[in-house]
Amino acid sequence: MKKITIKDIATQAQVSISTVSFVINGKGQKMGISTNVIKKVQDVAEKLNYRPSMIATSLRTGKTRSIGLIVEDISNQFFSDLARVIEDEAKNIDYRVFYCSTGDDDERSEELIHSLLQANVDGFIITPTQNLESSIDLLLKLKKPVVLIDRYFPGQKVSHVVMDNYEGSHSATKFLINKGCKNIAVVNNTSEMVQMKLREEGYRDALKEEGLYNENLVLHMEYHSNEEARIASIIKFFKKNAEIDAVLFLTNYMGLTGLQAFKDMGIEIPGNISVISFDDHDSFKLHTPTISVVAQPIEDIAIKSIQLLMSQMTDMEAFEVEKSLKKGKLIIRESV
């Protein structure tokens, strides 16, 4: 069975290939093609089960009706949830999504951008890594529509949609303070990215407002260390600071590691320590006790980012940079 082309249809329907093309693309009416001919072409196309070659169309039009989605790690539930919503939204406007993971590796991220550029995607949605600013600049120079999500570069003129990270951790910390906690720790990674900085700031400011801030209770963990090393560093930190009565984990994977560490140490939640983590996760709902979280507004972020991307794809010139901040949601469970 060989591939059916526009030419086969033209032959069978006894018209020119231009006519076929117009009909297939719904421009039959507009081009003043007779109803009879339109019907005939459609019937033949149907009968031969014709599928236009995306590749030929792309080469000709320069458009692929596809979006490249670059996330940190598609096997992290936050990103896979995000990806699914974005894919659904894109499907509604008849776009395909190609997704891939950076693993928080700058070099890999650059490769992915180039590979998607080569595949000629019409737009990019990206969770950038730390040093990706220049690659993003390249996309801007190429006039490629881009939206950053989850994080961004403060100085760069690119649309982005992120959670209100400052507010999220500020209100979570506030909640712990109101609960009566006095020695509230925070576990962050060593990333210099703005979203992590803002989360830490929200925590710090909330404590400072109450005169409770203690810089010894801030732990920064290496992102690229392995699970055992991370658990060990958490154990060490909590042993050293036995006065800690509450902790805020700034990402879900740090929260999960923390829970593992507490388990190994025999620390009881919320008896010995109250826990809140960023980013909801199935394991947090299933954990004994269930873990409170600052949940990201995944749906809002996904929908908004597609919208921003679409407005760029529709008219790259008229488009203006938009910075969108979406409020997260503090979900209180048994862990506090």
CB of 69 to a copy of itself, least distance (A): 11
Residue 102: closest CA among 87, 124, 86: 124
> Choosing among a copy of itself, DNA, none, which partner's interface includes residue 118 (Cβ < 5 to 8 Å by kind)?
a copy of itself
| CA distances in angstroms from 193 to 104, 128, 133, listed in the order given | 11, 9, 11
Nearer to DNA, 15 or 97 (CB): 15
> Choosing among a copy of itself, DNA, none, which partner's interface includes residue 201 (Cβ < 5 to 8 Å by kind)?
none
- Look up tokens 């400072």; give the residue: 208
DSSP string, 105-151: -HHHHHHHHHHHHHTT-SEEEE---TT-HHHHHHHHHTT--EEEES-
Nearer to a copy of itself, 160 or 287 (CB): 287
Q: What SS3 class is residue 76?
A: coil
> Choosing among a copy of itself, DNA, none, which partner's interface includes residue 311 (Cβ < 5 to 8 Å by kind)?
none
CB of 230 to a copy of itself, least distance (A): 14
CA distance 169 to 244: 18
Given a contact cutoff of 8 angstroms between Cβ atoms, the answer to whether 248 and 185 are in contact is: yes
Start-end of H helices in the chain: 6-13, 17-24, 35-48, 54-61, 77-92, 106-118, 133-141, 165-178, 194-209, 227-240, 252-265, 282-286, 298-314
Nearer to a copy of itself, 42 or 260 (CB): 260
CB of 19 to DNA, least distance (A): 4
Nearer to a copy of itself, 58 or 241 (CB): 58
CB of 291 to DNA, least distance (A): 51
> Choosing among a copy of itself, DNA, none, which partner's interface includes residue 216 (Cβ < 5 to 8 Å by kind)?
none
CB of 281 to DNA, least distance (A): 44
The residues binding a copy of itself (CB under 8 A) are 1, 51-56, 58-59, 64, 74-75, 77, 80-81, 83-84, 87, 96, 98-101, 114-115, 117-120, 141-143, 256, 259-260, 263, 282-283, 285-288
> Choosing among a copy of itself, DNA, none, which partner's interface includes residue 33 (Cβ < 5 to 8 Å by kind)?
DNA
CB of 182 to a copy of itself, least distance (A): 27
The residues binding DNA (CB under 7 A) are 3-7, 14-19, 21-22, 24-25, 31-34, 36-37, 50, 52-53, 56-57, 59-62
CB of 160 to a copy of itself, least distance (A): 23
Residue 224: closest CA among 274, 269, 189: 189
CA distance 304 to 1: 43
Given a contact cutoff of 8 angstroms between Cβ atoms, the answer to whether 76 and 253 are in contact is: yes
- Chain centroid to Cα 100, Å, comes to 11
